[in-house]
A = this chain, B = another copy of it.
């Protein structure tokens, strides 16, 4: 197993795993177990997390799913991103970048906006 350190703050992942799944599915159709392996290369994710998440995404119409048999194990449930899912993905990527930059600015004491030119 790949397993990045599982000491990683659980809270940090909130909302981000959804983004990660959508990004993966935008590249190619995947099944749940596969996505856990993929994501686990970079950030720790529990298997118990992915299935409720995928269910949510399906309910929200961001993905659809189809079954496919496998030679080495039980049938796999592949997920495919929808147009709505792609839009959501783009939005989340943008929000993530804005957020990560904001945090970075805070950590490095860079106050980007209005530094002396604040008209108020």
Contact = CB atoms under 8 A, between A and B. Distances in A.
Interface residues of A, number: 41
Number of copies: 2
Contacts of A57: none
A102 to B, nearest CB: 4
Nearest to A42: B102
A92 interface: yes
Nearest to A104: B100
B20 A11 contact: no
B9 A106 contact: no
B95 A2 contact: no
Interface string A40-54: 011100000000000
Nearest to A93: B107
A64 interface: no
A68 interface: no
Interface of A: 2, 4-5, 7-16, 19-20, 23-24, 27, 38-39, 41-43, 92-93, 95-96, 98-100, 102-107, 109, 111-114
Q: Which 9 A-B pairs have the closest CB atoms?
A: A11-B15, A42-B102, A14-B14, A11-B14, A43-B102, A12-B99, A42-B105, A42-B106, A9-B15
